[in-house]
Amino acid sequence: MGRFSKIPMESFDEFQVDVGVLLKSFDPKTPELVDADIICATTGGINPTCVPTYSDMGEDVDNCPAGMMELMHLDGWETTLGFTALNTTPEVIRMALGAADVDATSGKITPRRDLKDTDFADVWWVGDRSDGGLVAIRLINALSTSGFSLQTTKNGKGQIAVTLAGHVSINEQDVVPMEFYVQEGEEE
């Protein structure tokens, strides 16, 4: 083995393992899983992303090298949480639609032409670490950007593909709509 073919000794303790769970609410200060907060069962994993978008202010300047760090401008962040839901509850279908109302009495879900503030909600993904700790991601002001799509299969389960995007609030314009938490496991 080469001199530089090593990994940090603590690597195995720091792995994120298994799929994790999607939650309506979670408190990293007192990390407990409440069954009523679980949004749905998923298949194929869960994919949170937080991608910056940049502008090169020197792009149209003669003789300016592309990507000069002093002229780079951070425009914003694209924050998403993608997953495939197996549950066909009214709330999961409403979440996939984005702008929709649920009639709890009849189970009817009706898409709407306009957005309401209540269509936006925080969604948490929480996963385990191999040391017994956790990794958590909060998508702030999440709203579906993919709409509703149900894929059925013969002798299989129906699957609803969902992509939620985080949104900045006019009341907190400097807050990036995604937060990350890492907690190490307890020392034995």
Reference 131, options 68, 186, 63, 175; nearest CA is 186
Q: How far apart are CA 102 and CA 95, in angstroms?
A: 10
Q: Which tens digit of pLDDT belongs to each residue from 106-118?
A: 999 999 999 999 9
Tokens of 120: 């936006």
Strand partners, 88: none
What's residue 6's pLDDT? 84
Q: Which tens digit of pLDDT belongs to each residue from 164-182?
A: 999 999 999 999 999 999 9
Q: Hunting for tokens 């059925």 — which residue is that?
A: 152
Ramachandran assignment for 144, one of left (phi > 0), alpha (psi -120 to 50 degrees), beta (any other): beta
Cα 160–chain centre separation: 16
**Average pLDDT value over all residues in the chain:** 95
Average pLDDT (39-63) is 97
Residue 188 pLDDT greater than 80, yes or no? no
Q: Which tens digit of pLDDT belongs to each residue from 90-100?
A: 999 999 999 99
Ramachandran assignment for 98, one of left (phi > 0), alpha (psi -120 to 50 degrees), beta (any other): left
Strand (E) positions, the chain? 16-23, 42-56, 72-85, 100-103, 108-111, 121-129, 134-144, 150-151, 159-165, 178-183
Whole-structure pTM value: 0.91
